[in-house]
Amino acid sequence: MRPRSLTNADLAELLARQAETAEGLRQRAFRRAARSAFLWPEEAADLLAQGRSLVELKGIGPFLSKEIEGWLDQPPEKTLPPPLRRDFLTLAGARRILAANPDWSKKLRGDLQMHTTWSDGWGSIAEMAAAAEERGYEYIAITDHSKGLKIAGGIDEARLAQQAAEIKTWNQANKRRRLRVLSSIELNLSPRGEGDMDVAALRQLDLVLGSFHSSLRRTEDQTERYLAAIRNPHVHILGHPRGRIYNFRLGLKADWTKVFAEAAKRDKALEIDSYPDRQDLNLTLLKIARQEGVRISLGTDAHHPWQLAFIELGLAAALKARLSADQIVNFFPLPGLLSWAHSF
Ligand SMILES: [Zn+2]
């Protein structure tokens, strides 16, 4: 076996850097392959060592395959990725982290962020539930966008009530199964931490995830916005807290120690959005989360049933940050999760 000189994370960075100087179709191919590298199920170096072809990997054709083989043969010097691409795990890397501690993944009982055809997702509630059952989950929270986020097909109070009825019907028809589908929402928060839905509608839900989707490029400190969101009595979990996107947006700045301390005091949770391009909270912030003992929620932000697999990125980040198991709300059995959410 050839030594594992470059990981998929290294290759992703090399591809992203090539994209910066390439043009046209080639630029797009490099950029797309960089993002795909985060989801390759195996290390490219291992594939080659086994005599397999790199075109097995998503985003890789003959041209890029040759490029990557060249890098693996003669590794260029490693450089730290720029902040826009720093602190992201790959699926292959996450699996390595999780394989070293198999008990950790077994503690997971559900996924607390996903979208369906009710807003901008591609799977129905039943399809998301079927994918969750395949993963052996006890529960999932359906968190479609709320009405203020029109671009993502956000739903209003009337549609939310119809969706809750569909969820109730599913749960009743599947009583004998282990899985419960929870009614939830990804409540769109204003920069003042206020939601865009009637409070009476939110009170009907099992759980409320609140997220910022606007003014995400501000460069000044946003601590006050986070404190306001955490103090919003209707929000249980703050979704994708920083609002960062791989190679696109850095996310907001705040005094995270203060933010996490406030969340811990109020027993609110912050999320690890495990979508590969987000991974938000990231490892650096999770280390502060560990110190402050704040609750953490894991969500995939899945928009397709297959994307429930993204949870491994969040699980691995939590493990790597050495969070304690009782910090993680998705490790609770369902009654514990619901009584936590109803305690506010
Ligand atoms: Zn969101």
With 60 as the cut, is the pLDDT of residue 18 above it? yes
CA of 151 relative to ligand 1 center, distance in Å: 11
CA of 101 relative to ligand 1 center, distance in Å: 30
Give the model's pLDDT for residue 5: 82
CA of 186 relative to ligand 1 center, distance in Å: 7
CA of 240 relative to ligand 1 center, distance in Å: 7
Residue 28 CB coordination number (10 Å): 12
CA of 215 relative to ligand 1 center, distance in Å: 13
Give the model's pLDDT for residue 77: 87
CA of 72 relative to ligand 1 center, distance in Å: 37
Separation CA 311–CA 261 (nearest Å)? 25
Separation CA 304–CA 172 (nearest Å)? 24
Separation CA 8–CA 11 (nearest Å)? 5
CA of 243 relative to ligand 1 center, distance in Å: 8
CA of 109 relative to ligand 1 center, distance in Å: 22
CA of 79 relative to ligand 1 center, distance in Å: 31
CA of 9 relative to ligand 1 center, distance in Å: 25
CA of 214 relative to ligand 1 center, distance in Å: 10
Query: In the chain, how many H helices and how many E strands?
Result: 14, 8
What's the pLDDT band for 254 if we cut at 50, 70, 90? very high
CA of 117 relative to ligand 1 center, distance in Å: 15
CA of 73 relative to ligand 1 center, distance in Å: 40
CA of 330 relative to ligand 1 center, distance in Å: 19
pLDDT digit string, tens, across residues 216-244: 999 999 999 999 999 999 999 999 999 99
With 80 as the cut, is the pLDDT of residue 4 above it? no
CA of 304 relative to ligand 1 center, distance in Å: 15
What average pLDDT is seen over the chain?
Answer: 96
CA of 211 relative to ligand 1 center, distance in Å: 6
What's the pLDDT band for 1 if we cut at 50, 70, 90? very low
Sheet of 110-111, strands arranged across: 110-111, 139-142, 180-183
Pairing of strands 110-111, 237-238: unpaired
With 90 as the cut, is the pLDDT of residue 78 above it? no
Could you tell me the CA-to-CA distances from 2 to 5, 45, 48, 49, 317 in Å, in that order? 8, 8, 9, 6, 28
With 80 as the cut, is the pLDDT of residue 11 above it? yes
CA of 241 relative to ligand 1 center, distance in Å: 9
CA of 250 relative to ligand 1 center, distance in Å: 15
Give the model's pLDDT for residue 230: 98
Whether omega for the bond prior to residue 281 falls within 30 degrees of 0, making it cis, is: yes
pLDDT digit string, tens, across residues 195-219: 999 999 999 999 999 999 999 999 9
**Mean pLDDT (whole number) for 273-282:** 98
CA of 239 relative to ligand 1 center, distance in Å: 7
**Mean pLDDT (whole number) for 136-152:** 95
Neighbours of ion ligand 1 (CB under 5 A): 211
Could you tell me the CA-to-CA distances from 181 to 40, 84, 111, 222 in Å, in that order? 30, 35, 10, 34
With 70 as the cut, is the pLDDT of residue 114 above it? yes
What's the pLDDT band for 79 if we cut at 50, 70, 90? confident
With 50 as the cut, is the pLDDT of residue 298 above it? yes
Instruction: Tell me the pTM.
Output: 0.95
